Structure 1
Amino acid sequence: MSEIPPHPTLKAVTLTHVRYRKGDQLGHFLAWVSLVPVFIGLGGFVSHFIFRRELQGMFFALGLLISQFINEVIKKSVQQARPETCALLEMCDSHGWPSSHSQYMSFFAVYFTLLTYKKIGILWRNQMWVVGLLVWPLAILTMYSRVYLGYHTAAQVFAGAALGAVLGGVWFSVVNSGLRCFFPVIEESAFGRLFYVKDTSHIPNVLKFEYENARAARKHVSYKRAD
């Protein structure tokens, strides 16, 4: 009779499996806060592409993807271990420097702040209160959550935040000082026309523009039906 081989070690694919100490209400709250990058990526940018298809938003998302790619390259090159709590979190097989969550949120906060300050794009005009009361507090809370929950050391979080801030500023400059002049070309390309990709950053008040054009289109349709 052949021997039964031992059960292999199994590993779950878990995107939102963030652990915290049972009964720790602050930890529970911070566990949800640490999922903010997921909510921004899936809920924010995916819905933006589906419903708005603004080039500014697309290049914002592209910059975040590039930033995360750079983060993975650095992690694999440096291979700095996570804190000792990684054993409880089952995260010791991954590297901790720099923190990807901190880099993501820092990049997002810096780019969003610059867009708002420069009044570029439909979602970013006149939204400085969002920057001060929502974006930066969420970014800081996310960074703090990574240390509190034991996923990173303070140094790893600081490194991620610094790198994200630099990349966010550099990518904003690249897009809005260099690539933005190609937005009309992208709009008129086969890709742009097929997916209705557009750039409205040259329109002073996009909400008013869309509101007035929607009303004008409705009146035009009503007149045609009356005829």
Structure 2
Amino acid sequence: MEEDTLPIRNLLHSNGDIEWQPLALTLVEYPKGDWIGKFFAFISLSPFGIGAGFVALILFRRDLHTIAFFFGTLVNEVLNIILKHTICESRPLARGHLYNEYGMPSSHAQFVWFFGIYVLYFVLIRLHHINNNSIISALWRVIIVGGCMVLAVLVSIGRVYLHYHTTSQVVIGAIVGFVFATIWFALVHRVFTPLFPQLVSLKFCEMLMIRDTTLIPNVLWFEYTTSRQEARARGRKMAALKPSQ
């Protein structure tokens, strides 16, 4: 029994010599007792929530445009990594003991501004023809775009407030995100979207049930009415098959 516990003891003693490195991707700190800092700390986690939302939408909707949007966020992150290791500008000194990666440009700012500007283009260009005379529809578009812009501003402010980035690092990240969102939306809208009908007809896309909803004006309303009609039709069929009492 004593011999069996020796490897565990040796492992516990050897752990004292290991240098532990925090995962900076998810680690967020704020000054103790600072409620504003705590608020910004929670807000800075929003890119992870957006990423989880993308995964959920792709799994349950399987729409090509959503996939293209998500792929754009991945390319945007790769671009940020390339820029960081090309510019090689350090983070503020307050974060020097926790972070080894560079800070220029801010990945959080670049992500949220890419996301917000892409949503802005999508609403203004792709959704402009949907219920233009509906006040409720117009109000929802304002809420969606306004919410994305407010989120982008709050995340950007929070990264400076919590000393994760300098102001210039956040501003450059926002500019890069804005520019790349413009380029990526133009590519998706002008180049990729015309190819979607051919892509969804491929056997691979049919197996994964990937679809193109570009030509459907209001996808939510279409799915709602279609599912309601199908449920009513199946209900009538089941009622007709029941034996009469």
- TM-score with structure 1 setting the length: 0.89
Given that residues 82 and 153 in structure 1 are in contact (C-alpha distance below 8 angstroms), is that contact kept between their aligned partners in structure 2? yes
Q: Identify, as 1 or 2, the structure richer in helix.
A: 2
Unaligned runs of 5+ in 2: 1-12, 129-136
Which of 215, 222, 225 does residue 228 from structure 2 map onto? Answer: 215
The alignment yields a C-alpha RMSD, in angstroms, of 2.0
CA distance in 1, matches of 2:158, 2:173: 14
Structure 2 CA distance for partners of 1:110 and 1:31, relative to 1, 3 Å: same
Is 1:12 equivalent to 2:15 in the alignment? no
2:39 maps to which residue? Answer: 29
Unaligned runs of 5+ in 1: none
Which of 137, 144, 151 does residue 150 from structure 2 map onto? Answer: 137
Q: Secondary structure at the match of 2:96?
A: helix
Given that residues 31 and 145 in structure 1 are in contact (C-alpha distance below 8 angstroms), is that contact kept between their aligned partners in structure 2? yes
CA distance in 1, matches of 2:127, 2:85: 36
1:155 maps to which residue? Answer: 168
Q: Hey, which bits of structure 1, 4+ residues long, moved more than 6 A?
A: none
1:174-185 aligned at under 5 Å gives the runs 174-185=187-198
Q: Secondary structure at the match of 1:76?
A: helix
| Shift, 1:194, TM fit | 1.5
1:95 maps to which residue? Answer: 102
- TM-score with structure 2 setting the length: 0.83
Is 1:107 equivalent to 2:81 in the alignment? no
Given that residues 41 and 158 in structure 2 are in contact (C-alpha distance below 8 angstroms), is that contact kept between their aligned partners in structure 1? yes
Is 1:50 equivalent to 2:63 in the alignment? no
| Shift, 1:186, TM fit | 1.7
- 1:114-137 per-residue CA deviation (whole Å, 9 max, x = no partner) reads 10112349xxx7542224431100
Greater displacement, 50-59 / 145-154: 50-59
Largest Rg, 1 or 2: 2
Is 1:192 equivalent to 2:205 in the alignment? yes
Given that residues 113 and 128 in structure 1 are in contact (C-alpha distance below 8 angstroms), is that contact kept between their aligned partners in structure 2? no
* Paired positions, count: 218
1:40 maps to which residue? Answer: 50
| Shift, 1:78, TM fit | 1.4
CA distance in 2, matches of 1:65, 1:144: 23
Is 1:201 equivalent to 2:218 in the alignment? no
Given that residues 80 and 96 in structure 1 are in contact (C-alpha distance below 8 angstroms), is that contact kept between their aligned partners in structure 2? yes
CA distance in 2, matches of 1:40, 1:13: 19
CA distance in 2, matches of 1:23, 1:52: 42
**Counterpart residue identity of residue 191, structure 1:** F
Structure 2 CA distance for partners of 1:141 and 1:128, relative to 1, 3 Å: same
Q: Percent identity?
A: 33
Given that residues 88 and 104 in structure 2 are in contact (C-alpha distance below 8 angstroms), is that contact kept between their aligned partners in structure 1? yes
CA distance in 1, matches of 2:17, 2:224: 62
